[in-house]
Structures are given as structure tokens and as C-alpha cells.
């Protein structure tokens, strides 16, 4: 494990592996750098790239500084990019993809970008996603489990009837430990709509990935993101869905796009 300091003094922990052009992996909700998916992707890519797999602020071995702002997370990514040599290839999964897109809009030195299903909502009849305030209020009230449930049911489309079973699982405690960071995901994604005006200025070459087995919401969101980006293409991953990825296939898609 290594650490880099962000602009506000927050320390960001990361693992570095491999040799070659720098790739930075940006996780979404609940993801830490020890997440098996990111560990596997880092391992797959490390034969051709130098991979930076990091804990976003508030998670794992990274620090956290209040008050939160999306800009601070962009600065975290910028600190890693500087550590990587001043520019980097970036992969963002789910809300990590939304963060990477916001960083590209803000001018971060991203040479190429791949995002997998940024979790926006294109259906105007659907209720807004949970807000930063809603989640933060639950956490401050000591109701971390309820904050996780709100995020999962209203933000990640997990059926409400499954929550009782999930609360019984050993991993639930770990999810509660980082419940405060779910407010960060809410701040990044917003109420749901794709921020078309901002993303229309993102000129970074971008590959938008979508799972063939993902929900209509995720597929529609991926298409909407692709439609507003000036330099992007959409690719479908057969047999895959949000949270169900073949890391070998995913890594091959990343390597091919980054090397083209």
C-alpha cells in the first residue's frame, strides 16, 4: 500500500502494480481497493499497464475530511494522476464512472476513459434517487443500516423484500461501516438525470460499457451517456450485468481501447 496527499490534506491509499501506461481504477458505491473485481482487473491489466487501484475517501485506508464536496474527490483523482506521471487512462465503474466523467469535465488529465453503467435515471416518471442529505441525515442519526437500505432499494434497485436477508449476511456490517460514503455517491450522481450540458464538453475519448443482462434503467443510462459525449462509443458485454462482470472480458475491453 502507498499513499498520496490530496489538495485538502486528505491521504488517499492505493496499490500500484505492473508496468506501462498508467491506468487508474475508480470504484463505485461500497467498493474499496480490496474489492475482488478491482483486484482481478488490476492483476489482468498489470502485464501491460501500471495500475493504480485506490480507496476513495472515507473508505479502506484512505482518510476523509469534512465537509464533503464532489470537487474534493476530483482532486483525489488528480493527485493520483500526478503520482502516475501527469496523465492517465481511467476506468470508472457505476457511480465511479459518474465521478470519472465529472473529473473529465473539470479538466483532469485523463487521456482515455472507460465507464461501466453510470447509474443515472432516464425515466422521468421515476422518483428521484436518494439525496446526499437523506443519506447523511440517517447516518448522523445513528441509522447506518437504514442508510444502506435506502441507497440499495431506491438507488440501486435492490428489491425491498431482499433487504431482510441481506441484513443477516456477514458483509452487512462492513457496508454499514462505510454508509456515510453513500452520500458521496448521491452527490456525484445527483437526483438521476444525465448532466447532458456538462458532459457535452467532455472531449476525452470514452468507451461506455453496458451489460447485456443489465436492467433497462442501466442500459438506458449507458445509451444516454454515450449520446451526449462528443467522442464516445457504446459497447455491450454479453452475459453481464451491473454487479455481475467477467473480469477477464472486462479487462480485455479496457486493454484494447486503451491501446488503440
pLDDT digits (tens, 9 = 90+) for 90-135: 999 999 999 999 999 999 999 999 999 999 999 887 878 899 999 9
Please count the other Cβ atoms lying within 10 Å of the Cβ belonging to residue 159.
8
- How are strands ordered across the β-sheet holding 22-26? 2-5, 11-17, 50-54, 22-26, 88-93, 110-116, 206-211, 232-237
Considering the entire predicted model, what is its pTM?
Answer: 0.94
Is the Cβ–Cβ distance between 183 and 132 less than 8 Å? yes
pLDDT per residue, tens digit, the chain (260 aa), is 999 999 999 999 999 999 999 999 999 998 999 999 999 999 999 999 999 999 999 999 999 999 999 999 999 999 999 999 999 999 999 999 999 999 999 999 999 999 999 999 998 878 788 999 999 999 999 999 999 999 999 888 888 999 999 999 999 999 999 999 999 999 999 988 999 999 999 999 999 999 999 999 999 999 999 999 999 999 999 999 888 899 999 999 999 999 99
CA gyration radius, the chain: 17
Length of the chain: 260
Amino acid at each position: 500500500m502507498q499513499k498520496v496527499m490530496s489538495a485538502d490534506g486528505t491521504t488517499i491509499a492505493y496499490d500500484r502494480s505492473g508496468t506501462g501506461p498508467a491506468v487508474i481504477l475508480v470504484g463505485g458505491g461500497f467498493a474499496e481497493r480490496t474489492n475482488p473485481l478491482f483486484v482481478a482487473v488490476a492483476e489482468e491489466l498489470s502485464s501491460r499497464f501500471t495500475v493504480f487501484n485506490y480507496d476513495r475517501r472515507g473508505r479502506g485506508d484512505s482518510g476523509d475530511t469534512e465537509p464533503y464536496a464532489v470537487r474534493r474527490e476530483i482532486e483525489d483523482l488528480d493527485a493520483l494522476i500526478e503520482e502516475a506521471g501527469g496523465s492517465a487512462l481511467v476506468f470508472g465503474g457505476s457511480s465511479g464512472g459518474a465521478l470519472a466523467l465529472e473529473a473529465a469535465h473539470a479538466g483532469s488529465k485523463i487521456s482515455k476513459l472507460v465507464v461501466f453503467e453510470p447509474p443515472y435515471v432516464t425515466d422521468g416518471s421515476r422518483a428521484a434517487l436518494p439525496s446526499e442529505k437523506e443519506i447523511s441525515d440517517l447516518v448522523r442519526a445513528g441509522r447506518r443500516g437504514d442508510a444502506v437500505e435506502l441507497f440499495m432499494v431506491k438507488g440501486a434497485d435492490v428489491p425491498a423484500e431482499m433487504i431482510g436477508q441481506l441484513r443477516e449476511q456477514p458483509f452487512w456490517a462492513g457496508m454499514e461501516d462505510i454508509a456515510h460514503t453513500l452520500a458521496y455517491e448521491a452527490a456525484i450522481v445527483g437526483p438521476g438525470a444525465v448532466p447532458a450540458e456538462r458532459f457535452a464538453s467532455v472531449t476525452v475519448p470514452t468507451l461506455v460499457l453496458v451489460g447485456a443482462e443489465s436492467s433497462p434503467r442501466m442500459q438506458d443510462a449507458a445509451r444516454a451517456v454515450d449520446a451526449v459525449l462528443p467522442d464516445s462509443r457504446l459497447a455491450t458485454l454479453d452475459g453481464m450485468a451491473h454487479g455481475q462482470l467477467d473480469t477477464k472480458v472486462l479487462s480485455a475491453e479496457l486493454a484494447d481501447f486503451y491501446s488503440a
